[in-house]
Structure 1
């Protein structure tokens, strides 16, 4: 993937695209869609070629609209909550931003509760906003409070690796034991399994495969798992 620098303008033939961290869409008199780079790194895109982001070595998450994140409730705020998503500013989560929520029926989140949410608003001059449902279906689709399990922190690069369906690690772990996961682009992974030792194995494998950690490949991870107590 090409290395890009702040200020570079990139054009694509796709009329509808999704922009992740490091990119900002700009108006363009031509038919093409144009975006400008806001941070240095490598330009990445998904298999369909309609989602772009800049992968750098930044350790602080910068929210982008539509991205899934795992947040930690830090305080109650009016009819909603303040949520830590690893950004410089806290995000806000409205009490009605859940499937089927109403004035009389809404979640009762406590401080330090974990939530799996989607970034609904991300602007450099405004605090991020979250919602716990799919924007198109208005259904939870896995978003909401995360109960039990264990939170693993990893690099932003690793979190995007895990979100890639072609990445080897989660299918490899799933072939050894059943587990549930919630994957955030903000360097947080939630893991739940039947046994505590299985959660520990999954957490250690994520740390071992993390490019900022051991950086192990598939063969090395298989050998590593064989040394663990399962």
Structure 2
């Protein structure tokens, strides 16, 4: 069950590899150092193994948190780095070396408008967020990097977390109907790629229909919706 929590409340988050998401910080106050404190009101959530904790709220704007996956759009090049829009209050910085196998002589050739699947490597309220396009432990791409072609769908932050739940019905249901590729960021963006534009439109419409901030459609409702489409 979800637990409602208010700003300033202590959270019983404990794990060997604890990762804090939106709405949670580690307190540095004397006497409370080491405690996990909520910074906003909402529902306290955690992963199945208790390693990831966050506050689910009806926030409209994404607040970056370390180790979260995001879908971003390149805004401009800044020296050897790129400025990337991830839907937060400030654009993020992506180092030209933050890719698998990148070197000073071998860097990705990103253009303005390029879509990226990246991980937040640094997030602080007083600093611009930083991104990386590889797994921090293996330094392999692991699916991160430029997303070529495809279509970008925007949805609520809560919908993105639902899509990242392996037990959620939508993507497996759509994948059983036609081939598709998808990259879901926790910043309210989903990149989808199919071989048929009709399938792309169908996925987009289904995401909008299932989104809790939209129709909130369930699995039978989505199946009925798909039945009305020319697929």
For Structure 1 versus Structure 2, the TM-score category normalised by the shorter chain is: over 0.9
Report if aligned partners of 2:70, 2:120 keep a CA contact under 8 Å in 1: yes
Partner of 1:36: 37
Assess, with a 3 A threshold, how the Cα gap between structure 1 residues 118 and 208 changes in structure 2: closer, same or farther: same
Q: List alignment gaps of at least 5 residues for structure 1.
A: none
How many angstroms does 1:49 deviate by?
1.3
How many angstroms does 1:25 deviate by?
1.5
Number of residues paired by the alignment? 229
Q: The residue matched to 2:74 in structure 1 has which SS?
A: strand
How many angstroms does 1:71 deviate by?
0.5
How many angstroms does 1:27 deviate by?
5.2
Q: Deviations over 1:1-30 (max 9, x none)?
A: 111111111123424311000000225999
Partner of 2:84: 83
Q: After the TM superposition, list the runs of 4 or more consecutive aligned residues in structure 1 that deviate by more than 3 angstroms.
A: 27-30
Q: How does 1:35-54 map to 2 (within 5 A)?
A: 35-54=36-55
1:138, 1:110 → 2: CA distance? 23
Report if aligned partners of 1:15, 1:33 keep a CA contact under 8 Å in 2: no
Report if aligned partners of 2:8, 2:39 keep a CA contact under 8 Å in 1: yes
- Alpha-carbon RMSD across the aligned residues, in angstroms, is 1.6
Q: Does 1:181 align with 2:185?
A: no
Q: How does 1:145-184 map to 2 (within 5 A)?
A: 145-184=146-185
Assess, with a 3 A threshold, how the Cα gap between structure 1 residues 27 and 11 changes in structure 2: closer, same or farther: farther
Q: The residue matched to 2:12 in structure 1 has which SS?
A: strand
Report if aligned partners of 2:14, 2:51 keep a CA contact under 8 Å in 1: no
Q: Does 1:119 align with 2:136?
A: no
Report if aligned partners of 1:13, 1:33 keep a CA contact under 8 Å in 2: no
TM-score between the two structures when normalised by the length of structure 1: 0.96
Q: Deviations over 1:92-140 (max 9, x none)?
A: 0011000000111111111111111000000111100000001111000
Q: The residue matched to 2:83 in structure 1 has which SS?
A: strand
TM-score between the two structures when normalised by the length of structure 2: 0.96
2:189, 2:88 → 1: CA distance? 12
Assess, with a 3 A threshold, how the Cα gap between structure 1 residues 3 and 103 changes in structure 2: closer, same or farther: same
Report if aligned partners of 2:159, 2:212 keep a CA contact under 8 Å in 1: yes
Partner of 1:194: 195
Partner of 1:62: 63
2:17, 2:198 → 1: CA distance? 44
